Amino acid sequence: MRALKKPILGASLLLGAASIVNPPSLPQNTNYLSAGEQISSTTHVAYRPSSNSYSNAVVGVAPTPGRNGYWAVESNGTLKTYGSALGYGSLAGTKLNQPIVGIAATPDGKGYWLVAADGGIFTFGDAGFYGSTGAIKLNQPIVGMAATPDGKGYWLVAADGGIFTFGDAGFYGTASAGKALIASKDGKGYLILDDQGSPTSLGDAKVIAGAPVVFGSPTTPTPTTNPRLLLPPKNPTGNIAASPNFATTCWQSPNSGACQNLEVAALDSARLNSEGLAPFTLPSNFATLNPAEQTLVIIDIERGSRGLPIFVGLVNQLNVDASRGAAMATDPNYAMETIPGVTGYYGYGSIWAEDYSALAADYDWMYNDGLGSGNLDCTANNTSGCWGHRDNILHSAPGYQLIMGAGYQAMNGMVSLAQIFIAIPQNDVIPASDYSYTWSQAVAAGASF
C-alpha cells in the first residue's frame, strides 16, 4: 500500500472584487455587438459599438497569424499594437465621415484593413484595396467585415444582413438581419448571424451540430432563496472532513468506479449538511469524460445549484492557458489570446490542484480549503487566501457571460488540474468550433442542477 499523499491546492484570486484584472484598452461594461469573424489561421474579429459615438472605444481586434499578438482599433481610427503585432499606420487624427467599426488582418500579418460604418475601406501595410461602399447610399450601416483566405478580397456585412463583395470574395446570399459574419475556411461560403446568434448558412458554410455558435448561457439557473447557502464572502467556518473518506480508495485506484462513488457520496453529504443542497446529478457518460471536461460539469453543477450563472463551456484558446498551468503545477494565467467573438472581459480568475481526480479536487476546493488544508495560500500568518478556490468558483459577475479553460496532466501519481475563468460581455458570440466541450453537451447526457 502506498502512503497517502495530501492534495495540494494553488490559489489565484484574480477575479475577486478587490483584485479585478482588466486588459489594456479593451472595452468593459459596454454593450458591444459582434460584427464579423473568419475562422481560419488568420482569424479576425471586428465589432461595432451599439451607438454611433466617435469616442475612442475599442471596436475591433485582430490577432497576428501566430496568435502571439494583436491589433486593437478604436472607433476614431486610432490603432494600438500588442505582442508581436507591428503597426503599419492608423487614422489617428483623421477626420472621418463615419466611425470605424472593424478591422481585418492580412494572411501574413503584414497589413490590415479598417472599415467604417459607411463601408469606407482604409488599407495599411500589404492590405490591398478592392473597393468599398463609401460612395453608396446604404439602407443600414456596415457592421463588420471578413477577409478571404488569400487576402485578395473581403466581404462587408450590413445591419440588415446585406452582403457586399470585393476582390475575389464570392457572393452566396444575404440574410434578414446581420450582427456577425463568419466566413468558411475555404472562403466559399459564410454564416450570417442575427442578434440572437441564429445563423443563415450560405455557400458551403455548414451549421455544426445544429448551431454554429453558443450564444449566452444555454441553461439559466433558477434563482434560489435557500437561506443556508454560503456564497462569497461567506464560507464554511472550518474544513469539513469527507464522509465517507475517499482518500485511501482513490489513492490506490483514482479512476475506479468505487473511488468515484465515494467522492460523489462525500460531496453529496457535505452539500446537504452544510448548505441543504440536493445530490449531484452527473451526466451518464461522466466516467468517459477527460478531467478537464469533468471539471466543467462539476463546477457548473456547483454554481447552478446555488442559483448562479453557469459557464457556457471550455474554450480552446483558454484550454491552452490552463494546460500550461497544469503542466507547471500552478495557477494558469490568461495569455490575452484573441478569442473569436469576444470583445473584452470583466476579469478573470484561476485555480489549480494536484489531487486524486476532478471530483476530489472539487471537494477540496469547496469544503477543505481553510486552515490546515492543502491550500498553499492559507496559512496562520496569512488567512486572506483561505477559501480562495471556493470564492473563485462561486464568484458572481452579474450581466456577464462566463467561459472557462481547463487543463490536466498526470503528476506524482495524481492529476494536476488547472482552470481559468473569464467573464465576457453577455452579447458576445463565440463560434461553436472554438468550444471543446459545453454544458449543453453535459445536459444532453443527463447532467442537471
**Assigned domain for 196 exists:** no
Task: Output the nine-digit C-alpha cell for 128.
Answer: 490591398
User: Which backbone phi and psi does 87 adopt, to 5 degrees?
Assistant: -85, 135
Residue 254 confidence (pLDDT) = 87
Answer yes or no: is 257 within a domain.
Answer: yes
Q: Are residues 163 and 302 in the same domain?
A: no
| Residue keyed to cell 489570446 | 337
Distance (Å, whole) CA 182 – CA 12: 35
Query: What pLDDT sits at residue 213?
Result: 39
Residue 204 C-alpha cell reads as: 458551403
Q: What is the pLDDT of residue 210?
A: 36
Helix 291-304 / helix 358-367 crossing angle, nearest 10 deg: 40
User: What gap in Å lies between CA 256 and CA 434, rounded to an integer?
Assistant: 31
Q: What is the pLDDT of residue 112?
A: 93
**Same domain (yes/no): 227, 173:** no
Give the separation between CA 379 and CA 40, rounded to whole angstroms.
47
Q: Do 442 and 352 form a contact (C-beta atoms < 8 A)?
A: no
Q: List the beta strands (DSSP E) in 221-280.
A: none
205 in a structural domain: no
Same domain, 375 and 315: yes
Which stretches within 276-356 are classed as H helix?
A: 291-304, 316-328
Full domain range(s) for residue 70: 40-183
Q: What is the pLDDT of residue 185?
A: 77
Q: Are residues 257 and 400 in the same domain?
A: yes
Q: How far is CA 90 from the centre of its chain?
A: 29
- The verdict on pTM exceeding 0.75 is no
Give which of 62, 55, 49, 47 is closest to 102, Cα–Cα.
47
* 354 and 263 co-located in one domain: yes
Q: Which of 183, 199, 228 is the last residue of a domain?
A: 183
pLDDT of residue 348: 76
Which residue ranges of the chain lie beneath pLDDT 70? 1-57, 66-69, 83, 180, 194-198, 206-224
Q: Do 165 and 268 belong together in one domain?
A: no
Number of domains in the chain: 2
Residue 321 lies in a domain: yes
**50 and 14 within one domain:** no
| CB-neighbour burial class of residue 6 (10 A; exposed 0-12, middle 13-18, buried 19+) | exposed
* Same-domain pairing of 249 and 391: yes
Q: How far apart are CA 253 and CA 357, in angstroms?
A: 10
Residue 431 in any domain: the answer is: yes
Distance between CA atoms of 415 and 5, rounded to whole angstroms? 12
Q: How far apart are the C-alpha atoms of 262 and 406, rounded to whole Å?
A: 24
Cα 37 to chain center, whole Å? 16
CATH number, residue 176? 2.130.10.10
What is the predicted pLDDT for the residue at 279? 93
CA angle 373, 378, 384 (to 5 degrees): 145
Half-sphere exposure in the Cβ direction for 16 (13 Å, CA): 18
Could you tell me if residue 210 is inside a domain?
Answer: no
The reply to whether 164 and 232 lie within a common domain is no
Strand partners, 112: 105, 124
